[in-house]
Homo-oligomer: A and B are copies of this chain.
């Protein structure tokens, strides 16, 4: 299958049609993600990243110069070459989320690629393997073709109190079940695949530290999304059926979606050729993979969720105007608080980028402690921002009639008359804002801020590991005048 370089959103949409995704939703096989109402908004969000590459205003953020070819490529397919690259990454994310109010699905792939780039380099250094070269070739193809590669990390995990090899069912972590001359066979599943229905490639890698007994589970590889043996089951989202309805008000964000369109991916003895295998049995590097990917991914959350929060703040400020309360001191104070929290989130993304460092492979990595701190704040502040939005919006947020009622010849007049705010603003404007606020703050959308890039406790484990308490104890003893003998 030969693919030409995708120049824009149209090319991108066209390219997706060539894939034969074995995808299900609500028990039905999905044939065309580009047109199907459930999937189109997710595709649109990724398409927005293609548009951005051609937008003069933002092209410096959206594109980067490949260190492999010197060509201009999508920043989503770039290996960060400097501190400035790390900062541009998060600026791009905030800006894109301001424009879509939706997960744009490509960052996990970018972060997987950056992790794979540096980890394969270090595996090779230790074991004399050739993973890094393989990965560079794969990466160059993705860059040249301007493809979307996403990441797949989370194993189902079964009984969380047991490691992979002690699970009752050995497949509860993805593992190699057969080795052939030309490659390996893998089996298992990965959960929460963000963006797979809008993508061309998947980069698969381990979910946790591993020990020697788990070495069949220590595997990293890339594959096209429609590799034989793959099945994808689309996850339910809050209010997902609204996407199937007529009309665009009740969707809240009709053009885009809210989250990444996560799927459960089943790998039923999927074959991967050697040139796409980037780790196999080097279990002592599984932890490094997790740490590098997690840090890179956690770096993003203050920026992407910050971008969505910007839209939410705007919606609340606008609704307050429509309600006639924009100058009420308590409303202004709540808007300020939303701004404060949003910028606190964003400060984390900027700071961990600024404090980044270069790995031995030449790829730049964010500061691990600050990136984990950023994500941890997201698991709290996004909820508080949503709570404040609910406060400002008012009770209609929970009791607004449906768009169908509004379009109904008789009921529509009632709604128009009685749900009006200040006289000069159409009632429909108010309705649209309620639905947008509802979409951003309800259910799935906020859970994504909690568990995307790992649950809060994983960040705390990393923070403790990075905190250097021994150094802080030394500082304290010095000030307290404690002299150890």
Which residue of B231, B239, B374 contacts A411 across the interface (Cβ within 8 Å)?
B231
Given contacts A436-B476, A436-B480, A472-B310, contact A450 B390 (CB under 8 A): yes
Cβ of A398: which chain B residues have Cβ within 8 Å of it?
192, 235, 237, 259, 262, 443-444, 447-448, 451
Given contacts A231-B414, A318-B473, A395-B455, contact A255 B479 (CB under 8 A): yes
Are B475 and A233 in touch, CB under 8 angstroms? no
A366-394 near B? 1/0 per residue, CB < 8 Å: 00011001101101100110110011001
Chain A, range 213-272, C-beta contacts under 8 Å to B: 231, 233-239, 241-242, 248-250, 252-256, 259, 262-264, 266
Which residue of B329, B354, B417 contacts A171 across the interface (Cβ within 8 Å)?
B417
Alpha-carbon distance between A231 and B351 when the two chains are bound, in angstroms: 43
Which residue of B24, B355, B417, B481 contacts A405 across the interface (Cβ within 8 Å)?
B24
Alpha-carbon distance between A419 and B158 when the two chains are bound, in angstroms: 7
Alpha-carbon distance between A242 and B422 when the two chains are bound, in angstroms: 35
Q: From A25, A87, A394, A471, name the one whose CB has the most chain B CB atoms within 10 angstroms.
A: A394
27 contacts between A and B (CB under 8 A): A24-B408, A27-B407, A27-B408, A28-B404, A171-B418, A191-B399, A239-B239, A264-B401, A311-B472, A311-B475, A311-B476, A313-B472, A315-B480, A318-B482, A335-B464, A335-B469, A336-B464, A339-B464, A343-B370, A343-B373, A347-B347, A351-B351, A390-B451, A391-B455, A394-B455, A398-B443, A398-B451
Chain A, range 315-334, C-beta contacts under 8 Å to B: 315, 317-318, 321, 323-325, 329-330, 332-333
Chain A, range 429-480, C-beta contacts under 8 Å to B: 429, 432-433, 435-436, 438, 441-444, 446-448, 450-452, 455-457, 460, 463-464, 467, 469, 471-480
Alpha-carbon distance between A101 and B421 when the two chains are bound, in angstroms: 34
**Stretch of A6-14, A67-75, A159-167 with 4 or more beta carbons under 8 angstroms from chain B:** A159-167
A169-202 near B? 1/0 per residue, CB < 8 Å: 1011000000000000000110110000000000
Min CB distance A174 to B, Å, is 10
Alpha-carbon distance between A241 and B448 when the two chains are bound, in angstroms: 22
Given contacts A377-B344, A408-B24, A435-B480, contact A236 B401 (CB under 8 A): yes
Q: From A158, A318, A395, A446, name the one whose CB has the most chain B CB atoms within 10 angstroms.
A: A395
Min CB distance A374 to B, Å, is 7
Alpha-carbon distance between A448 and B467 when the two chains are bound, in angstroms: 26
Alpha-carbon distance between A480 and B192 when the two chains are bound, in angstroms: 24
Which residue in chain B gives the minimum CB-CB distance to A452?
B395
A400 at the B interface (CB under 8 A): yes
Alpha-carbon distance between A447 and B352 when the two chains are bound, in angstroms: 29
A420 at the B interface (CB under 8 A): yes
Q: From A154, A317, A332, A457, name the one whose CB has the most chain B CB atoms within 10 angstroms.
A: A457
Cβ of A421: which chain B residues have Cβ within 8 Å of it?
158-160
Are B169 and A417 in touch, CB under 8 angstroms? yes
The range of chain A's interface size is 35 or more
A46 at the B interface (CB under 8 A): no
Alpha-carbon distance between A237 and B472 when the two chains are bound, in angstroms: 26
A273 at the B interface (CB under 8 A): no
Min CB distance A365 to B, Å, is 16
Cβ of A286: which chain B residues have Cβ within 8 Å of it?
none
A206 at the B interface (CB under 8 A): no
Given contacts A264-B399, A351-B354, 16 further A-B pairs with CB under 8 A are A158-B420, A159-B421, A233-B401, A238-B239, A241-B242, A264-B401, A310-B472, A311-B476, A311-B479, A312-B476, A318-B482, A340-B376, A346-B351, A379-B391, A390-B447, A395-B450
Min CB distance A205 to B, Å, is 17
Which residue in chain B gives the minimum CB-CB distance to A373?
B343
A360 at the B interface (CB under 8 A): no
Alpha-carbon distance between A386 and B390 when the two chains are bound, in angstroms: 14
Are A397 and B24 in touch, CB under 8 angstroms? no
Counting from the closest, the 8 A-B pairs by CB-CB distance are A314-B472, A442-B443, A314-B476, A235-B399, A395-B451, A347-B351, A27-B404, A329-B329
A350 at the B interface (CB under 8 A): yes
Given contacts A264-B399, A387-B380, A405-B27, contact A480 B419 (CB under 8 A): no
Min CB distance A192 to B, Å, is 5
Cβ of A262: which chain B residues have Cβ within 8 Å of it?
398-399
Min CB distance A367 to B, Å, is 9
Cβ of A380: which chain B residues have Cβ within 8 Å of it?
387
A99 at the B interface (CB under 8 A): yes
Which residue of B28, B348, B456 contacts A351 across the interface (Cβ within 8 Å)?
B348
